[in-house]
Amino acid sequence: MLNKSVFKIIFICLIATVFFLTESAHCRTEYDYIDINNPFIRKIPIAVPVFKPISGSGGEKFLSQEASNLLSKSLEFTGYFKIIDRDAYLVDPEKSDIIVSNINFKNWTGIGAELLITGSLFLKDNIIEMELRLYDTFKGLLIVGKRYKGVVNNQRKMIHRFCGEVIYKLAGSKGIFGSKIAFVSKNSGNKNIYLCEFDGHNPEQLTYNKSIALSPAWSSDAKWIAYTSYSKGKPDLYIKHLKDKHGAIVAKKGINITPAWVPGKFSLAATLSFSGDSEIYLLTGTGKIIKKLTNNWGIDVSPTFSPDGDKMAFVSNRSGSPQIYIMDLDSGQVKRLTFQGRYNTCPNWSPNGDKIAYSGMGNGQINIYTINVEGESPALQLTHDSGNNESPTWSPDGSLIAFSSTREGPCRIYVMTAYGTDQRCLLALPGEQTDPQWSPRVIDN
């Protein structure tokens, strides 16, 4: 009890002591370092030297190394940066200073670094204090500075908060830091829902059923997850509060599958087939039917909403093969979006609202594509000749796409930029992983 309240105080400290380090009058708030229209064409070279241990203790040195490495890795993960190798540095960062007046920026521009992050770390009684600063090396400007204080175990959280500040300053969006990814992992014949951090760290199992669980979907406050499970013998829809574990089950005759939450509402769409035909219905968060959204004989499945909640994309085989359609929810009007290929499924609407990512089949291979929602330009193929690639899901800032792929044999979760660059495996657990679903950014604590 005492421990808990102490922890609470410390945690509040972590939040409360974060403030701008306004040491420089040159500090600016608006930058356009990252071109939102084509952000991954050129990566920004950035130097992240090991943080300065204030007292110089062994513990501080270890944590400084760990924290600065995590910062490098986390920034690299975004796809925006090229981290400059520490062996190329012209100065010993331990001897160089960390505040603007004492930094010789030529030492950094000389090795091509356009950005520099300096840090200091102070450790006392299992509490760390970090000061982190981002500089524009050419202009000699402090872009953002922050101080963090908290228990050692929260170091990862502190670093990720600073990363969020960095991305916010450079790209104008809050980034991916603090978001999570839900996915399905198959182990010893059963499929269960798991969660991990945006970078694949700390995977944790959410369901423990000896059956099949599929298609996790986050509510837009990230407090609820809906998914399909066979735990009662057939595909039913489970709506679950992540913390309290309470919720509802939609277990009508036939299939109860492919949930998608309406942005900003406690309401979701899902495919139900109790009528003998699969249609998409709008449901309350407690699983009651509000209304039928599609009305067409054949398959209607996999809804995904535009960020404003006005439109819904979904898969239908009404034309004879699975294609992606967009429905205007007000008028009920439906327009076909995809025309290339005979098998386009798994739509996922981008958080910026302008694109839809999907899986398309061609030449016996399934690849990830993005297409403009207006459908006026041809789709952009993001994966090529690398197994089957399914279930694309946008990061909350729209910069990255996670998906599942069989490129290395067993199906695993991969991540790439929204333009298809920097494709890498997110995590590898025993068995197979599928159905990634990126959370909104909200997740905190």
Query: For residues 397 and 435, which CB has a smaller minimum distance to other proteins in the complex?
Result: 435
Q: How many residues bind other proteins (CB under 8 A)?
A: 38
Query: For residues 167 and 411, which CB has a smaller minimum distance to other proteins in the complex?
Result: 411
By CB under 8 A, name the one of 89, 105, 343, 419 that touches other proteins: 343
Judged by CB under 8 A, which stretch of 25-33, 51-59, 85-93, 361-369 contacts other proteins?
361-369
Q: Decide the pairing of beta strands 180-187 and 141-151.
A: unpaired
Q: How far is the CB of 379 from other proteins (least distance, A)?
A: 16
Q: Which of residues 130-189 bind other proteins (CB under 8 A)?
A: none
Q: Which of residues 414-443 bind other proteins (CB under 8 A)?
A: 434-435
Q: How far is the CB of 192 from other proteins (least distance, A)?
A: 13
R_g of the chain computed on alpha carbons? 24
Query: For residues 66 and 277, which CB has a smaller minimum distance to other proteins in the complex?
Result: 277
Q: How far is the CB of 253 from other proteins (least distance, A)?
A: 8
Q: How far is the CB of 345 from other proteins (least distance, A)?
A: 4
By CB under 8 A, name the one of 111, 361, 373, 380 that touches other proteins: 361
Q: How far is the CB of 317 from other proteins (least distance, A)?
A: 8
Query: For residues 72 and 271, which CB has a smaller minimum distance to other proteins in the complex?
Result: 271
By CB under 8 A, name the one of 86, 234, 265, 318 that touches other proteins: 234
By CB under 8 A, name the one of 103, 181, 346, 371 that touches other proteins: 346
Q: Which of residues 237-276 bind other proteins (CB under 8 A)?
A: 253-255, 257-258, 271, 273, 276
Q: How far is the CB of 403 from other proteins (least distance, A)?
A: 11
Query: For residues 171 and 356, which CB has a smaller minimum distance to other proteins in the complex?
Result: 356
Angle of the 58-77 helix axis to the 155-171 helix axis, nearest 10: 40
By CB under 8 A, name the one of 72, 179, 215, 348 that touches other proteins: 215
Q: Decide the pairing of beta strands 412-417 and 400-405.
A: antiparallel
Q: How far is the CB of 270 from other proteins (least distance, A)?
A: 11
Query: For residues 191 and 441, which CB has a smaller minimum distance to other proteins in the complex?
Result: 191
Q: Which of residues 180-209 bind other proteins (CB under 8 A)?
A: 191
What is the rounded distance in angstroms from the CA atom of residue 50 to the CA atom of residue 417? Answer: 27
Q: How far is the CB of 413 from other proteins (least distance, A)?
A: 14
Q: Which of residues 366-405 bind other proteins (CB under 8 A)?
A: 366, 390-391
Query: For residues 105 and 343, which CB has a smaller minimum distance to other proteins in the complex?
Result: 343
Told to check if 364 binds other proteins by CB under 8 A, we report yes
Query: For residues 124 and 336, which CB has a smaller minimum distance to other proteins in the complex?
Result: 336
- In the shown chain, the binding pattern of residues 281 to 320 toward other proteins, with x for contact by CB under 8 A and - for none, equals -----------------xxxxx------------x-x---
Q: What angle do CA 396, 399, 405 make, to 5 degrees?
A: 90
3-state secondary structure the chain: CHHHHHHHHHHHHHHHCCCECCCCCCCCCCCCCCCCCCCCCCCEEEECCCCEECCCCHHHHHHHHHHHHHHHHHHHHCCCEEECCHHHCCCCCCCCCCCHHHCCCHHHHCCCCCEEEEEEEEEECCEEEEEEEEEECCCCEEEEEEEEEEEHHHHHHHHHHHHHHHHHHHHCCCCCCCCEEEEEEEECCEEEEEEEECCCCCCEECCCCCCCEEEEEECCCCCEEEEEECCCCCCEEEEEECCCCCEEEECCCCCEEEEEECCCCCEEEEEECCCCCCEEEEEECCCCEEEECCCCCCCEEEEEECCCCCEEEEEECCCCCCEEEEEECCCCCEEECCCCCCCEEEEEECCCCCEEEEEEEECCEEEEEEEECCCCCCCEECCCCCCCEEEEEECCCCCEEEEEECCCCCCEEEEEECCCCCCEEEECCCCEEEEEEECCCCCCC
Q: What angle do CA 224, 227, 229 make, to 5 degrees?
A: 135
What is the rounded distance in angstroms from the CA atom of residue 268 to the CA atom of residue 74? Answer: 33
Return residues touching other proteins (CB under 8 A). 191, 212, 214-215, 228, 233-235, 253-255, 257-258, 271, 273, 276-278, 298-302, 315, 317, 321-322, 343, 345-346, 359, 361, 364, 366, 390-391, 434-435
